[in-house]
Amino acid sequence: MKEPLRTRYAPGYDLFKLIVAIILTIILIILLLRERDGRLAALQMAVSTLTETVSLVMPTATFEPPVLTPEPTQTEEPPAEPQVASDLNECPSNPTRIQVGFTVRVLDWLNFRAAPGLGKTIQHTNSPGTEMEVIGGPICAPQSGEPPRAYLWWNVRMEDGREGWSAEAPLNFPNYFLEPVE
């Protein structure tokens, strides 16, 4: 009868395999870190180049938001004709903080119209921070409905000399579109 084959055992062989595996793992980690650092350097250089390019382009770029005018529906009543506000307390708008001769600053995107009233032609949309001189007004433009509401419109002149009309405050919010510059 034959004896079964026995596996030969080499003392320390398992320890040798463990050490080789650790060394290979360390080499792999070092190579991955070098590759990542190379990619990071390349990415930083690309971002730097892009930033320089954008900074050269940005001062000449201007953004004009699209001007959207609502389409009138057949059930809509035409807005009431603007009326000169003799007594500002009679106009159902937010209380005014502006007078003729003031310089005002735009607080939110604000339409600059050819005449006072929501249905009038939009000539331009001013961005927040734009400053204008108040040269006339106010005109109360009431809106139909309950409770009665209105915009208080001011004739303003932009720095480039264009003249038009902008509302001081919205219909039903305590926010203002224009504030006096002190």
58-104 pLDDT, tens digit per residue, is 555 555 666 666 665 544 445 445 554 445 556 766 778 888 999 99
Residue 54 in this model has a pLDDT that exceeds 60: no
Other Cβ atoms less than 10 A from the Cβ of 155: the count is 19
Superfamily of domain 83-180: SH3 Domains (2.30.30.40)
Please tell me the pTM assigned to this model. 0.51
The Cα–Cα gap between 153 and 151 comes to 6
Q: Which of 137, 136, 145, 134 is nearest to 172 (CA)?
A: 145
Domain boundaries, the chain: 13-60, 83-180
Separate counts of helices (H) and strands (E) for the chain:
1, 8
Share of the chain above pLDDT 70, in %: 58
Per-residue pLDDT reduced to its tens digit, 92-148: 667 788 889 999 999 988 999 999 888 899 999 999 999 999 999 888 877 666 766
Q: How confident is the model at residue 182 (pLDDT cuts 50, 70, 90)?
A: confident
DSSP helix/strand/coil, 23: helix
